[in-house]
Structure 1
Amino acid sequence: MKNNLQRSPHQGFGRVLIQSCGSYLRLCIHAKSVSTVKFRIASWNVNGLRAIAKKGFFEWKEKEKYDVVCLQETKIGADQLTKELMERKGYTAYFSHAEKKGYSGVAIYTREKPKEVLNGFGIAKFDNEGRTVIADYGDFLLANIYFPNGKASPERLAYKMEFYEAFLQYSKKLQKEGKRLVVCGDFNTAHKEIDLAHPKDNHRISGFLPEERDWMDRFEKAGHLDTFRIYNKDANHYTWWHMMTNARARNVGWRIDYFFIHKALEKMAEQATIEAAVLGSDHCPVTLTLKV
């Protein structure tokens, strides 16, 4: 992180005191008193940025004062970005657009300007769908991803599994380079039976297929932690509800939106939440608070 997060420039040594001792100054270092700053991130599949902007999205964002807000399914092209959508006081915005109009797309609104921002992870057939923005915050890389949905056809399921595998290998490459990942977004898969209301009815439905869930297992085994489950082991916590069946009112949903962190970052994690009361999309926001 940069210094405008207001960390002590001597954070590695703890609190620094300057004491007057006659004709000289003495530097006193207290190693156990280290101040931290909370870094709050929200992630939300908004199902259309222009639509949710009319439902109070920016008012919500500015009220909550998140340091970073990651969006999926923005469904907006570069030629459709207005000043209102791009220039928000106190934030810098980064977008990745799909070549197909009105489809996919991700965005990051951030108070802290990253060292570097990448659109995608270097594979054209995935990057052309505008599914990934990766921001380098120094202490960690934040990957905001809209993972593919496999329900439309066998071909799209195959594409989803290829995307999964490509990202897993990319994450392993970053680990070998000594980089630590925070991954957020819509994974389009409920990992375990506790993560959806009717698991027995959905074993043959994309989003809960054995091969999709197996990939989630392998992603965890590669060193990534599901932050919500660090703090909450209970059932009936979901992030997506079908809009046509009044499912949200009945809380018949799926938990498919996540924050994963590399295990090396676990001590930085302080809180992970599902903001089910926040309306405006068929998904709700999820959040992560880090101590930096």
Structure 2
Amino acid sequence: MLRIITLNLNGIRSAWRKGVLPWALGQNADIICLQELKAQQADLSEEMKAPPGFHAYYHCATKRGYSGVGLWCRRKPERIVERLDNAEFDLEGRFLRADFGRLSVISLYQPSGSSSEQRQEAKFRFMAFIFPRLSQLAASGRDVVVCGDWNIAHQEIDLRNWRSNRKNSGFLPEERAWVSRLLDEAGWCDVYRRLHPTRTDEAYTWWSNRGQAWAKNVGWRLDYQLATAAIAGRAQRAEVFKAQRFSDHAPLTIDYDYDQDGDEPPPGA
């Protein structure tokens, strides 16, 4: 069994103080994908750099207190890739990939457009840039899982107040259509929705800090594991953990009936 967890930390140092490490160590996870580190390498403690039982890798943003992604891996990857070869987004630390045989696991943090029109334009640029690369990955013959905060709720069942958010970043028609294209044209599978096609309230992974969004469960499903067909078909269980809060996001755990020590990668992958 392969267990993969994805979690937007909203600051690794903040999440650390809230007990994310003891929780993570008790999950028996093989790979943990992290987003929104809000830290640079110099800010990381020795425990963050080497959590017990894991090989830890981070791609931090150049800007202090901003963005950044990480991967914790039980097994040491054969290759780590942290560059998209796009100066704008590489400087923001939005992508980190680990390869194990024919399996690739990616931690991805898509920009949010909620703060300004300029950031929404940056989000659209990222979406346009990453789409063909994700399409190429899906067609590569590799087994790939992309874990991340996509900052998009795909369907009406993916957020509580969908009617009032139709003109807001995260639920714009063009954003939702982009996710549909990933699933319908590019060959990706939304693994949580494959296992739970109609689940609503239990599917949310993010709650605004405004008002009483958490208390009233006025949430959004923004954190997904998208997978290529072969490994997506082996998903057995998906759970959003809400018993303890480390962030304004909740961890998403998915178990795959998959042998990480399986086949070699296809030629040229």
TM-score by shorter chain over 0.5 = yes
Q: What residue is the counterpart of 1:235 in the other structure?
A: 200
Contact 1:46/1:283 (<8 A) preserved: yes
Matched, 1:108 2:71: yes
Map 1:1-292 → 2, pairs under 5 A = 38-221=1-184, 222-232=186-196, 233-236=198-201, 237-291=203-257, 292=259
SS of the residue 2:189 aligns to: strand
Q: Which residue of 1 aligns with 2:264?
A: none
One-letter code of the match for 1:278? Q
User: Percent identity among equivalent residues?
Assistant: 38
Shift of 1:209: 0.4
Coordinate RMSD, CA, aligned: 1.2
Q: Deviation of residue 162 (structure 1)?
A: 1.5
- CA contact 1:242–1:282 (8 Å) conserved in 2: yes
Post-superposition CA distance 1:205-244 (Å, at most 9, x none): 0000011101001111211111111111222121000112
5+ residue gaps, structure 1: 1-37
Return the structure number with greater relative CO, CA threshold 8 A, min gap 6: 2
Runs (4 or more) in structure 1 with deviation over 6 Å come to none
Assess if the C-alpha contact under 8 Å between 2:138 and 2:188 holds in 1.
no
Residue 141 of structure 1, CA deviation: 1.1
Distance, in Å, in 2 between the alignment partners of 1:264 and 1:119 is 25
Deviation at residue 275 of structure 1 after TM alignment? 1.3
Shift of 1:122: 1.8
Question: TM (normalized to structure 1)?
Answer: 0.84
SS of 2:157's partner is helix
Kept after mapping to 2: 8 A contact 1:171/1:181: no
Aligned length: 255
Q: Does the 8 Å CA contact 2:207/2:214 hold for their aligned counterparts?
A: yes
